[in-house]
Amino acid sequence: MDAAHEDLCHGGSGDNATRSCKNGAARPHLTALVLARGGSKGIPGKNIKVLAGVPLIGWVLRAAVDSGLFDSVWVSTDDERIMKVAERFGAKVHHRSPEVSKDTTSSFDTIVEFLQHHPEIDIIGNIQGTSPCLHPKHLKDVIRMFLEEGYESVFSVVRRHQFRWEELSDKVKVTKPLNFNPAKRPRRQDWPGELCENGSFYFATTDLIKRGFIQDGKLSYYEMEPEYSVDIDVDIDWPIAEQRVLKYGYLGEHAVKNVKLLVCNVDGCLISSKFSGSENDNEKTNDDEKRDASGISLLKGKGIKVMFISDRKFTGEEDPAAKVDCQTEVIVSDKHHFVLKKMKALGASWNEVAYIGCVLSDVECLKKAGVSGVPSDSCPDVKVASTFICKSDGGHGAIGEFAERICLLLNRITSGTAVPH
């Protein structure tokens, strides 16, 4: 927990010691909850569909966990695949009952069912998994409103400048303006606009929820800037959201230190996992090779040590890493032990390690590395262990794509861009 978070209260996520606020009162138990039913109709598999390399709910889970403010972060779901993703991003899993897993079940009823199993919770934040541009800073501000200003309910809004008109119907044959005078149409800069719910989160005390409300009592809103107000409901939102989240989403820059070491598994990452010996099995295009080489060169330019490993043996010109100006450490049977030795030599922690792999023997390193990636053709059990899933297959630019992601993260850390203030 950083100094700013300690200003709120002592004792962060997972702290079993006595929690207290600055005024000496016991700090309430704070929980973040993401509702993620498996049967999405608008976008099948939406909650774990990959958005800019990350499963959709992973974006908000990372923000909640890295905020360091919650005693627990949960995902309520009925889907085994979602459970695995939730755990990978540091959340606990609540197995919701069939009664609250129907198409007609309301979010409120699902929250109530969760709270029946967790009477220790005092304040709960229902964070929407479809809002991938949420940052720890937003959550910190909301928690401050509860702990320092005594609010019972806070929800997120965004300011919109949209002129609204009455809808035509059998009874209404002529429309009329609802929020402006057409004869005096205001300029955008002269009109403050209107506050609209953006669906990013709804926080409330459990006492308020027990009374049947999630927006009542001492109630306020939290205004988010438009660039962070991204909500995905239909497929057409996806390409737009990918561009927005790469620019404004939280990549994990609060939790990951400056990367010192990148370890790449040659087998299935630099060369295709489909390689079987025939001439055409592992043909890389010039663009693939250039992307891999360019990405590695960028990382080296930032002072990052790049190491390739393989459980096979390559000699001389056979080494595929030579094409990206690297060498391969061969016959590495215990990858975890190998990375630990290199970390010790560099004086690095796991948060300063990036790792890209594609097979089960990579999983332990993928889970521990501060930044981890897998090619798109990796098996599901390996994908769920990683924090970034490339669009490229192994042997076809995946390493270059992963290197570009690391550079984007490091640039965020250095410049502070895309972090709300």
User: Which one of the listed residues 88, 159, 164, 185 is annotated catalytic?
Assistant: 185
Question: Which of 60, 72, 93 minimizes the C-alpha distance to 15?
Answer: 72
Name residues whose C-beta falls within 8 Å of residue 288's C-beta, 6 or more positions apart in sequence: 392, 395, 396, 397, 400
Q: Catalytic residue at 188?
A: no
Taken in order 151, 153, 157, 163, is the CA torsion positive or negative? Answer: negative
What token pair was written down for 332? 């590495």
Question: Which of 124, 130, 351 minimizes the C-alpha distance to 258?
Answer: 351
What token pair was written down for 418? 């895309």
Q: 72: which strand partners?
A: 31
Q: Are 140 and 243 in contact (CB under 8 A)?
A: no
Q: Are 383 and 391 in contact (CB under 8 A)?
A: no
What token pair was written down for 375? 């090619």
Question: Which of 267, 310, 242, 229 minimizes the C-alpha distance to 399?
Answer: 267
List residues with catalytic annotation.
185
